Amino acid sequence: MSTHIPAAFDAAIANLPRRYVGPGGAIAVLREGEVLAKHVWGWADAERRIPFTAETMTLVCSITKQFTCALMLDQFPDPSALDGDVRRMMPLLGSAAPDALRLAHNQSGLRDYWATAMLCGAPIEGRFTDFDARRLIARTSSLQFRPGTRYSYCNQNFRILSDIIQERAGRDYAELLRERILVPAGMPRARLAADTSNVPGGTVGYEGTVESGFRPAINNIIWTGDAGLACSIEDMIAWEQHIDATWDDQASRYRRQAAPVHFADGRTASYGFGLSRMKILGREATGHGGGLRGWRSFRFYIPSERISVACLFNHMADPRAAALDALAALFGEKAPPAASAPAPDWSGRYIEPETGLALRVEPAENAVKLHFAPHPDLLGGNGDGSFGTSPRLSAEGGAVRMQRPLDNIDTTLTPVSGTPGLDVAGTYRSTEYGADLTVINAGGGLYAACSGELGIGAMQALLPHAQDIWLMPCPRALDHSAPGDWTLAFRRGADGEVTGIEVGCWLARHIEYERVA
């Protein structure tokens, strides 16, 4: 391991405020527990001219998940002790419930509740309480896949775990988290900040861009074990030092959290115990990002180099990219150029048969653009006729094959064509969620809106995909990770009349609606 620090490293750190423009931010880079760089800039509250400092509290959002899993392992070294509690939280579930470990590994098969909340009429900036969370979880009567067979990011996996820990311990989750995990790790300022409308210290998160202008983001959700932690960069430094100091102890909590995990078929999974397993500049690492409107964060640890990076923004720039810029400068490395390859003739519209989700492939320069998950993937050529790695597209016997190792999906895409008709207008009901989807033909334009126990959603213009398949865009939601496009696959009876819809997005699939009007 080299101890040399290139001159370009300091320059890269100093350039971050200009490269990732926004109200404020902080970054820390550590090696062997020693801080190589700590830089803060900008404003915690631009309107009141309060500077962003090393003690400024920010919402680290989904980074919380690893702390919830650390507390679970602290209180229940054998998480199977919680399996019965998981089942009791979903009394209507008509199949075997996922066990606690499948929740911790995002292999539960549960649909993400921030996505299904939008189907229940939740306003984008509406209030979402603990009561709302409990009743939405309790409504679960089906799963989107058999537990252990696939990966799907699901926030309530970790809310369920934190609720169970609190009930079993007979103590407040926030108090227990601080006492057992945060304080021993040397994180004096870190705390649970469940109410996203009231950030400790008054730090403001901002939406917008330089071009559109920045404005304070409005968040009104209550969350706990899935994304409730507030930290300063000093707290994150302490967490990274704690990880490095305990890494050589095979029995340490983080070492257990970072150990290999598997799917039910034995394949190695890339996520477990609230941590992503990833490669950072070709090196094995564990870490996680976090996001809510106005807040972005990212942290990782590379054991082979004993290097950690943590980056916090109170705006919507990309902290992962900023962290990689700093690391690349430290290593004196650059990302290898993408292979030059002409875009294949795969352009078109598809359905992924297992998930039932709509998919588009578009050509790009020396690449293809894949529209499937909430955000499009730009897949560079590999030199062998395939594009991308995870996901990866390739030609197989005249068809297009998509491999998503993270999700344990290997599938052949189904081409679709045609233009969907306007005769799908009507009202549809999901029994599972007690929610309605209303489709209206308004002068030749098709619009849809969701309603249910969380409110009445706004009308959205539908986009045609193929025969009997429309897309309902949802680029903004309660959570930062919005559903993206909902696939609306309309069903017809023997007489050709529309009888129902299968609704799905990447975060919540296979939701059945029956036509009621």
Residues annotated catalytic, as ranges? 62, 65
Give me the residues paired with residue 400 across strands. Answer: 395
Structure-token pair, residue 142: 């089906």
Asked if residues 6 and 327 have their Cβ atoms less than 8 Å apart, the reply is: no
What residues contact residue 206 under an 8 Å CB cut-off, 6+ apart? 22, 23, 46, 214, 215, 216, 217, 294, 314, 315, 316
Instruction: Enter the DSSP assignment of 221.
Output: B
CA 206/CA 335 separation, integer angstroms: 30
How many CB atoms within 10 Å of residue 197? 11
CA distance 124 to 219: 9
Cα–Cα distance between 58 and 295 in angstroms, integer?
7
Phi, psi of 19 (to 5 degrees): -80, -35
- Residue with the two structure tokens 């150990």: 259
Q: Output the six-digit token pair for 453.
A: 């126990």
Q: How many residues does the chain have?
A: 517
Number of helical H runs and strand E runs in the chain? 11, 33
Quote the CA–CA distance of 154 and 10 in Å, as a whole number. 38
Contact 70, 258 (CB under 8 A): no
| C-beta separation of 271 from 261 below 8 A | yes
271-272 and 191-192 beta bridge pairing: unpaired
Q: What is the DSSP letter of 339?
A: B
Closest CA to 220 of 158, 156, 294: 294
Structure tokens at 327: 């690391």
Structural contact between residues 55 and 231, judged by C-beta atoms closer than 8 angstroms: no
Exposed, middle or buried: residue 263 (CB in 10 Å: 0-12, 13-18, 19+)? middle
Residues 6 or more apart from 212 whose CB is under 8 A from it?
Answer: none
CB 104 within 8 A of CB 256: no
Q: How far is the C-alpha of 408 from the C-alpha of 150, rounded, in Å?
A: 5
Q: 505 - beta bridge partners?
A: 508
From the number of C-beta atoms within 10 Å of its C-beta (0-12, 13-18, 19+), residue 173 rates as buried
